[in-house]
């Protein structure tokens, strides 16, 4: 007795969904053990149970991973981020200590070129970690983030913030984005 094709398809989709959820489950278990501050069998088992319950009760769409990782471009991304972090820290410190007020701040819309939720999220987090900019909104459907940026008196300052976000997105795509995303961010 063979099972209908629709049942086989459904089982295949459930297996694929579970495989896509494995990185999330792993991260949740590691986070659980870090919260308890100890690696033990009890923490491992309760972490696995909790991770499965959390992913089933609070359903999130699976994060689609490209299956590729380039350590060279990740190192370039980390280096670029750290350099931007140092420069931005000194710029904000200078703004805080200078005698005159900050004349203009801006809300900058950045149209990202990737459609990946993961890359959009990491780009937004990276920009929020930099002093002087903060993500105030993200539009997942249109792949846009909106940044509050300090001291953007001229249009060049706004464009610098936009270019910085797009450069970090490009480095993230080269690090672990799909081949389709790499094509979109060329140029």
Q: What pLDDT does 111 receive?
A: 96
User: By C-alpha distance, which of 116, 124, 8 is closest to 64?
Assistant: 116
Q: Which residues of the chain have pLDDT under 50?
A: none
pLDDT of residue 13: 60
What pLDDT is recorded for position 102?
Answer: 64
Tokens 């972490």, located at residue:
47
Q: Which residue has the tokens 């509050």?
A: 148
- The pLDDT value recorded for residue 98 is 82
Residue 182 host element (H or E): helix 179-185
DSSP 145: E
- Give backbone dihedrals phi and psi of 110, rounded to 5 degrees, phi first: -120, 115
- Output the pLDDT for position 88: 93
Q: Which of 114, 106, 112 is nearest to 64 (CA)?
A: 114
- pTM listed for this prediction: 0.72
The rounded mean pLDDT for the chain is 86
Q: CB–CB of 110/149 below 8 Å?
A: no
Measure CA 76 to chain center.
16
Domain residue extents for the chain:
5-57, 71-185
Is the Cβ–Cβ distance between 76 and 171 less than 8 Å? yes
């Amino acid at each position: 007795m063979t099972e209908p094709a629709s049942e086989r398809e459904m089982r295949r989709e459930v297996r694929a969904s579970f495989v896509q959820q494995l990185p999330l489950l792993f991260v949740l278990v590691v986070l659980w053990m870090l919260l308890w501050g100890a690696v033990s069998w009890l923490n491992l088992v309760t972490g696995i149970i909790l991770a499965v319950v959390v992913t089933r009760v609070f359903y999130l769409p699976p994060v689609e991973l490209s299956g590729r990782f380039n350590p060279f471009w990740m190192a370039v991304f980390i280096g670029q981020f750290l350099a931007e972090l140092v420069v931005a820290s000194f710029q904000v410190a200078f703004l805080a200590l200078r005698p005159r007020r900050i004349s203009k701040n801006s809300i900058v819309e950045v149209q990202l070129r990737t459609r990946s939720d993961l890359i959009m999220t990491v780009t937004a987090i990276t920009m929020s970690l930099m002093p002087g900019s903060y993500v105030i909104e993200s539009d997942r459907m249109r792949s846009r983030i909106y940044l509050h940026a300090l001291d953007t008196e001229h249009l060049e300052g706004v464009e610098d913030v936009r270019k910085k976000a797009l450069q970090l997105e490009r480095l993230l795509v080269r690090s672990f984005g799909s081949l389709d995303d790499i094509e979109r961010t060329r140029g």
